[in-house]
Chains A and B, each alone.
Chain A
């Protein structure tokens, strides 16, 4: 067991940062907390780190209750968003800091620090000061400084937000490789869905202090459960629909038969732009016709914004221009059925809890 939280709550004055968060992270997995800013993901990470104390609930690390234990006694280490380097210490001293704190003999600590710097591919910078390093190098030092302590869990708070786009992609891959080599538990916070998909085994999408959905990255990406999650993972097309049979729905674009039974009377469907296909108008494949309003060329594909409100992506070989009429096929198996937001009920606290909070 890596990390487990039970009903963690945190308020800042009147503002609710976290409500009833149950989280379970397996040992050795790369887990990501994904969400928009202000959703409580960083607060949750800080509570796991011990930099912030939960108002309520429990935090267990490897089965041990850590709820009340201060940050300097928890077997976790953090890579801070700002890296939080010690500017007056050299790279090597920075990386040694945690080991020396724990009274590891100096020679051993230095040896371990050097090994860890090797691991993050930062050789020959031992005696530099942090302000003599580039942003990417500083990020590696921050990673090494945390990893040198061999923490049970490594926490990463938006570790790549300060890097430029190209470097970020490279670092994501490296981070994933390091995690797999060390077989350590990594928990990362990010607002970038691509980053989450690239590095994680599993992820949790958070919204207003709660976990909206969690599962493997594939599960969450392919099957977002609520409109919020779908929207955050950019499914883009939302279609209001009514159930008119066991598996049949009425939509503004016609009646469709879905491969699964429909759990509601009226609700929302979603379909990713890349799953919509062009179809020759008039053929049975063609579900709807629409005019192209805008064509955004993206190099390897083009993005078509249609006059009926849908967005689709097709390969760029078919030349289409604004004003052209296209036929669109909606593959039934790619339609995502969204559920009512379950968190709705938790948003407003029950009256008795309200009193308890005051």
Chain B
């Protein structure tokens, strides 16, 4: 009995090491004073200082943030409306099944195919209307298209949990559509909406493939920047950058946990 518990403890420790050692090493090397290689040259913050003064990196960080925030805002709004619409409308069973497949499709489609499809769609639109020059706008649109499905799925899961009862109860208590939506449905959906938005935000933050295909010359994001620099060799500066990105991600996950308490309804 005791042996198995030691064994399982050891296993979980190893799994954690396996998961977090690479990341920890990145964090460690970001504080390494020596320029190259794996030699420890003492603690230093100079790479972070360089980072702050690198115009290209700051520009990429700004692009990443704008892209993530704007696309998340739009996809959260559209995804939530989509989920509510799909759930409330009395679809026939067969139609509902097909819609379900359609909703999952963007989630399971390989990124690369999605990206190529977007490029083609954008070029067709550009050809006919002259709009959608590749750049931040096309990236935002691209991100929204795949984020919507994630948001809608998160919100729909919540809707199914809530059921039709409370909505009917609100209606029975003289609430019109707007009151049902704002006083009952949205407050109850809040955890689902926040979870969906956070998911969309982190997906956008670290997306590479779709950004790579839909970006323009001036709309480099952090993942794209890191990819381009790594080709010239990994520098401690990249370590520092990665550490910051990691921190932001951890912070947003923590925020999500805090904003959506585990309620059982």
| A residues adjacent to B (C-beta < 8 A) | 49-51, 70-73, 76-78, 80, 82, 84-88, 97-98, 101-102, 131, 145-146, 149
The winner among B163, B172, B176, B184 for most chain A CB atoms within 10 A is B172
Q: Is B33 an interface residue (CB 8 A)?
A: no
Report A-chain residues with C-beta under 8 Å of the C-beta of B264: 131
> Which residues of B (154-197) have their CB < 8 Å from a CB of A?
163, 165-166, 168-176, 179, 183-184, 187-188, 190
Docked complex Cα distance between A102 and B176 (Å): 10
A49 CB to closest chain B CB, in angstroms?
A: 6
> Which residues of B (249-265) have their CB < 8 Å from a CB of A?
263-265
Report whether A87 and B265 are in contact in the complex, using a CB–CB cutoff of 8 Å.
yes
B189 CB to closest chain A CB, in angstroms?
A: 10
Report A-chain residues with C-beta under 8 Å of the C-beta of B263: 87, 131
Docked complex Cα distance between A262 and B176 (Å): 57
The winner among A72, A85, A131 for most chain B CB atoms within 10 A is A72
Docked complex Cα distance between A97 and B171 (Å): 10
Report whether A145 and B174 are in contact in the complex, using a CB–CB cutoff of 8 Å.
no
Report A-chain residues with C-beta under 8 Å of the C-beta of B175: 72, 97, 101
Docked complex Cα distance between A61 and B88 (Å): 28
Nearest-CB residue, chain B, relative to A95: B173
Per DSSP, are chain B's interface residues mostly helix, strand or loop, or mixed? helix
Nearest-CB residue, chain B, relative to A13: B92
Report B-chain residues with C-beta under 8 Å of the C-beta of A87: 188, 263, 265
Report whether A51 and B173 are in contact in the complex, using a CB–CB cutoff of 8 Å.
no
A69 CB to closest chain B CB, in angstroms?
A: 12
Docked complex Cα distance between A87 and B168 (Å): 14
Nearest-CB residue, chain A, relative to B162: A87
9 closest Cβ pairs, A-B complex: A98-B173, A84-B169, A101-B174, A84-B165, A87-B265, A71-B171, A88-B187, A101-B175, A78-B172
Docked complex Cα distance between A70 and B169 (Å): 13
B260 CB to closest chain A CB, in angstroms?
A: 12
Report whether B184 and A86 are in contact in the complex, using a CB–CB cutoff of 8 Å.
yes
Report whether A145 and B173 are in contact in the complex, using a CB–CB cutoff of 8 Å.
yes
9 A-B interface contacts by CB (under 8 A)? A77-B173, A78-B172, A80-B168, A86-B184, A88-B187, A97-B173, A98-B174, A146-B173, A149-B174
Nearest-CB residue, chain B, relative to A148: B173
Report whether A97 and B170 are in contact in the complex, using a CB–CB cutoff of 8 Å.
yes
